[in-house]
């Protein structure tokens, strides 16, 4: 439940950051710069606090081991690679490339999905780092100037920050696509906390017959 909330906060913050970021990048209509920057500076803290909370909570809060299952485990265990994920990377790639007909078994999250989700955490923190490196109050901290001189100056730091926004946009597009392409059950869960019948394998990743238990 708590993660439905963090997901909502994340989504809103991301949309606001991307929109205000676009505007800061190029003010495509007049009269909004003060608001855009205020928005960006507010939500940048929101997203960092939210994400940090999310990571810490993952160690304490238990979540279902698979969609629709009543069996729970600490969230972090569902995140990190599990026994059930072993040797399934290639089958998942083949599945998505239409080279494999049946659905690969997995844990709660498939291998590709896990890689993508785990990468977003450092990515968001890198985003924050590059953001603070070009933010007036913090831009001259030695911690940030080291990175600035590494990428070749503040101008390039802005370019990196700008490109990372695109990485997020593309990630979000793929994420939303994959989550919904086989039906809207995951969306119902994450947005409205509506449970579904769920996936068809248990904690160990063994096939199960039909519905939740």
Partner 1 sequence: MAHEDCEVLYSQLAARGVTRRDFLRFCGSVAALLGLSETMVPRIAAAVESAALKPRVPALWINGGACTGCTESMAQLGSPDVATVVLDLLSVNYFETIMMAQGEDAEKAKADLAAAGGYVLVYEGTVMTGFDGNALRVAGKPQTEELPELCEKAAAILAVGSCAVDGGWVAARPNPAEGIGIQQFCEDHDIATPIINLPTCPVNPEWVVAMVVDVLFLGGLDEQGKVAQALVDKLDDFGRPKLIFGQTIHDNCPRRGHFENGEFVYEFGSEEEARGYCLYAVGCKGPQTFTNCPIVRWNEKATWCVEAGAPCIGCGNANPLSAGGNWVDVGAPFLNRLPDLPLSDTTTVQPAAAASVVGAVAAGALLVHGIGMKAAGRMDGGAPYEEIRESDRKKGGGR
Residues at the site binding ligand HEM, with contacts judged by CB under 6 A: 14, 17-18, 21-22, 24-25, 37, 40, 44, 47-48, 124, 127-128, 131-132, 134-135, 158, 161-162, 165, 168
Q: Closest by alpha carbon to 51, among 127, 125, 144, 161?
A: 125
Distances (CA, A) of 16 to 42, 44, 128, 140, 171: 10, 9, 15, 26, 16
158, 187, 202, 212: residue in contact with partner 1 (rule CB under 8 A): 158
Q: Which x/- pattern over 39-78 shows residues binding partner 1 (rule: CB under 8 A)?
A: ----------------------------------------
Q: Which does 149 bind (CB under 5 to 8 A by kind): partner 1, ligand HEM, none?
A: partner 1
Evaluate whether 112 touches 85 at the Cβ level (below 8 Å).
no
CB under 8 Å to 25, separation ≥6 — which residues? 162
Phi-psi group of 212: left, alpha or beta (phi > 0 → left; psi -120 to 50 → alpha; rest → beta): beta
C-beta of 52 vs 206, nearer to partner 1: 206
Q: Which x/- pattern over 96-135 shows residues binding partner 1 (rule: CB under 8 A)?
A: x-x-xxxxxx----------------------------x-
Q: Which does 142 bind (CB under 5 to 8 A by kind): ligand HEM, partner 1, none?
A: partner 1
Evaluate whether 23 touches 36 at the Cβ level (below 8 Å).
yes
């Amino acid at each position: 439940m708590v993660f439905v909330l963090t997901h909502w906060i994340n989504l809103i913050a991301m949309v606001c950051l991307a929109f205000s970021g676009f505007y800061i990048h190029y003010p495509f209509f007049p009269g909004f710069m003060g608001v855009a920057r205020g928005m960006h500076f507010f939500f940048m803290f929101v997203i960092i606090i939210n994400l940090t909370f999310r990571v810490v909570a993952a160690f304490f809060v238990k979540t279902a081991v698979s969609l629709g299952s009543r069996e729970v485990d600490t969230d972090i265990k569902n995140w990190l690679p599990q026994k059930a994920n072993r040797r399934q990377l290639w089958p998942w790639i083949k599945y998505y490339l239409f080279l494999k007909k049946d659905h690969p078994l997995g844990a709660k999250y498939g291998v590709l999905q896990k890689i993508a989700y785990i990468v977003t955490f450092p990515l968001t923190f890198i985003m924050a780092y590059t953001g603070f490196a070009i933010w007036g109050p913090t831009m001259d901290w030695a911690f940030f100037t080291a990175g600035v001189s590494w990428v070749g100056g503040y101008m390039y730091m802005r370019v990196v920050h700008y490109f990372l926004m695109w990485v997020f946009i593309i990630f979000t597009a793929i994420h939303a696509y994959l989550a919904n392409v086989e039906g809207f059950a995951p969306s119902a869960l994450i947005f409205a906390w509506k449970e579904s019948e769920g996936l068809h394998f248990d904690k160990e990743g063994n096939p199960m017959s039909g519905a939740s238990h």
